[in-house]
Structure 1
Amino acid sequence: MRTIATITANEMRAINRSAVLEVIRQYAPISRVEVANRLGVSLPTVMRLVDDLLAEDLIRPSQTSVSTGGRRGELLEFNASGHLVVGVDLGGTKIHGAITDLAGNILHEVNVTGHMTHGEDSYSLLVNLLENLSSIAASSGKHLLGLGVGVPGVVHPESGEVSLAPALNWNDFPLRPRLERYFGLPVVVENDVNLAALGELWFGAGQDANTLVLITVGTGIGAGVIVNGCLYAGTHFMAGEVGYLVPDRTFLGKPLEGFGALERLASGTGIAERARQRLKAVRPVEALESLTAEDVFEAARAGECWATEVVDETVDYLAQAIAAIQLVIDPEVILLGGGVSNSADLLIEPILQRLAGVIPVQPALLPSRLGYRAGVLGAMVKLLRVTANYYLLQKFS
């Protein structure tokens, strides 16, 4: 049976507080009167909420002031530079860590490639990176708001437990509780693609959208789904696990362990493997072992037939997935990210050509603007929302 929710007085205050904070963040420098006018809320209500936000140091007086005909009025701005966040995008083979402020400015970052760790070794590597970044952030003298971690798997949004992350060999791994005990700071743990989608929503190619889907094609394939400005997790917290889409009837009735059917064919790993199968009779085994998806796209640009065929097949597989996403969710924009998005010039237009006239609405398909930094910026967004008791309001028509 569906739960019927009501709003308490405290929740109503939190909703209004979130709206005031968001207006100041977007339209600063801004006066209290203009905030009230934009929101249609009484000035005394805005003044009380502004006092709360000033006390929490989330906003501050602006250096700019405005004349109201008498004394010059105080303007307000979001205190983006006064707080820092440490974010880590923990991949199966690569890690990107960064220190950001609340405006999305990256102040320090580090990349780890080819770590190839699993289980407790992955956790130890993560803790070491978070310790180093937290130490650098602390040396700035600014307030460290907390830590945000993106992982390539299924995350329970309330407990912060990683239910399934094949690339790290994590199953029911209590990541957030362990990190909170170790660091004594607020921690958010989320699927890596979900965080990347939040990053694109606030700072990237999705800034003008309320509903978007970010598809990342790398070692695997995943999608972050945002509906009306909020992440959509799904009943089993697996919304966006599009790597498990079935691109062909030959996969039916054949249980797969680890990676799904679509990502076995169209991920970076899948692209490289299909290329190896085509070349195994003409190239030495040793040469094929190091073949990557980037090599395939480079060869396709050079006009090599085997590579062109592999890329064409990849376009077909991704076009089917994008058609399904467009028809089921109908987002304002679909973004293509991940390592393979570096070759978006060979993918986006061909995908749109495949779908022209096939589905009723042509998707607005764009490349990611933030690239590998999207995840750490999304970690900042989610951490701010969690620590600031952030609400988004939707009215059903």
Structure 2
Amino acid sequence: MNRIGHQDYIKSINRALVLETIRNDQPVSRAELARTLGLSRSTVSSVVDELLAKRFVMELGLGDSTNEGGRRGMKLAFNAKSAFGIGVDIKESGMLLMITDLDGNVTYEKKTTPTNKVAYVIEHIQTFIQECGINEDLFIGLSVAVPSVVENTKDIVVDAPSLGWFNLNLKKELAAYFSIPIYINNDVDCSALGERWLGNGAQTDNMFYMSIDAGIGGSIIANGQLIQGSHYSAGEVGYFIDKEDTVHFEPPIAGQYGPFERKLIPLIKEFQETGIPSKALTLNLSIAITNLVNLLNPEKIIIGGVEGPSLAPIVETLEQNVRRFSPIQSKIEIACLGERAQALGALWYLFERIVFSPL
């Protein structure tokens, strides 16, 4: 990294630190920011001036004088309504479109009928933007969650069989109609990000999100960062195996159900029908969660997806089993955002990169 690049990097880190501190500590003055962050007042003032120019921060007025009778500082606050994002969750059952401000306050949302035609997806988004009543100049990006592995470096939807999309460059298709930044991400990863932003994983830097639908997927957040793996497939717990699975082993095929989900989903359905959890259900799920806890040491395991909430009655049993099986402790909770999780997570994925990231 050359000297200019290094300076830009340091500046971007300082900008992210100042903005995050204003969000958390508002109202706060420049002097207070400098003391809290250990930065010079000139550095803080330069960053604040930039944030004011972009309207991410606003001035509230002069604060109280110091105990020594010193000059009162101008108090600053985060301006959540300085920008808005568009989040879209595309699935086989339909689309959920959502607009929020930078704090995640939903200002407009809409469900559409199912479609796998990209042209119709574009048309739905265009109509949604026209209907929302928000000045289009305030939109800073469009972020889409899809039921597929997404090769993020190329924005390729690798394999979405429920939509009939394979190796589709969705970003390229959308970019022909929308001039704002566009992001595409996996729906389970978006659910995890949504829960970490506004759900039961709020402010949790180390967590595992388990999504239980027709199959079982997962997402890893470590040190506050989404971990996607070398082929963007990290967290695929549906392919977990145990000793018994090796006896009549069937080679796994990408896109098809793995041994763990083939075993667990019928047990969950049985529990939903009878109201009585089988020992096989609690034991198999406890073993899987214990192995995740031992491997990742997360603060929380969040269980979500369409079928996730039905497991709420056995969470205490699962925690007891994990404590019995492992010396490493982790809290287990049911996700709380429901069908909004993917769209909200897609929005956080967007905001983090455009507004809050130091990079």
Task: Give the equivalent residue in structure 2 for 1:20.
Answer: 18
| SS, match of residue 107 in structure 2 | strand
Structure 1: unaligned runs, 5 residues or longer: 276-292, 393-397
Instruction: Measure the CA separation in 1 of the matches of 2:189 and 2:75.
Output: 34
Instruction: Measure the CA separation in 1 of the matches of 2:59 and 2:238.
Output: 47
The TM-score normalised by the length of structure 1 is 0.80
Instruction: Measure the CA separation in 2 of the matches of 1:257 and 1:157.
Output: 18
> Does 1:368 find its partner at 2:308?
no
> Does 1:255 find its partner at 2:252?
yes
Deviation at 1:335, TM superposition (A): 0.6
Equivalent position amino acid for 2:246 in 1: R
Instruction: Measure the CA separation in 2 of the matches of 1:150 and 1:138.
Output: 23
Deviation at 1:44, TM superposition (A): 0.6
Deviation at 1:152, TM superposition (A): 1.5
Structure 2: unaligned runs, 5 residues or longer: none
Task: Give the equivalent residue in structure 2 for 1:327.
Answer: 294
> Does 1:299 find its partner at 2:252?
no
> Does 1:204 find its partner at 2:178?
no
> Does 1:79 find its partner at 2:79?
yes
| SS, match of residue 194 in structure 1 | helix
Identify which of 40, 45, 48 aligns with 1:47. 45
Task: Give the equivalent residue in structure 2 for 1:91.
Answer: 91
> Does 1:187 find its partner at 2:185?
no
Contact 2:140–2:181 under 8 Å retained in 1: yes
Instruction: Measure the CA separation in 2 of the matches of 1:251 and 1:15.
Output: 53
> Does 1:165 find its partner at 2:160?
yes
Contact 1:14–1:389 under 8 Å retained in 2: no
- Identity of aligned pairs, percent? 33
Alignment of 1:51-200 (within 5 A): 51-62=49-60, 65-68=63-66, 69=69, 72-112=72-112, 115=114, 117-118=115-116, 121=117, 123-139=118-134, 143-200=138-195
Instruction: Measure the CA separation in 2 of the matches of 1:145 and 1:212.
Output: 28
Instruction: Measure the CA separation in 2 of the matches of 1:112 and 1:349.
Output: 37
Instruction: Measure the CA separation in 2 of the matches of 1:322 and 1:129.
Output: 39
Question: What value does the CA root-mean-square deviation take over the aligned residues?
Answer: 2.6
Equivalent position amino acid for 1:258 in 2: G
Deviation at 1:34, TM superposition (A): 1.3
Instruction: Measure the CA separation in 1 of the matches of 2:328 and 2:224.
Output: 22
Deviation at 1:157, TM superposition (A): 2.1
Contact 1:86–1:133 under 8 Å retained in 2: no
Q: How many corresponding residue pairs? A: 352
Q: Deviations over 1:145-200 (max 9, x none)?
A: 21111112211222221122232232211011221222111111111121222222
Deviation at 1:389, TM superposition (A): 6.7
Identify which of 5, 8, 20 aligns with 2:6. 8
Deviation at 1:9, TM superposition (A): 1.2
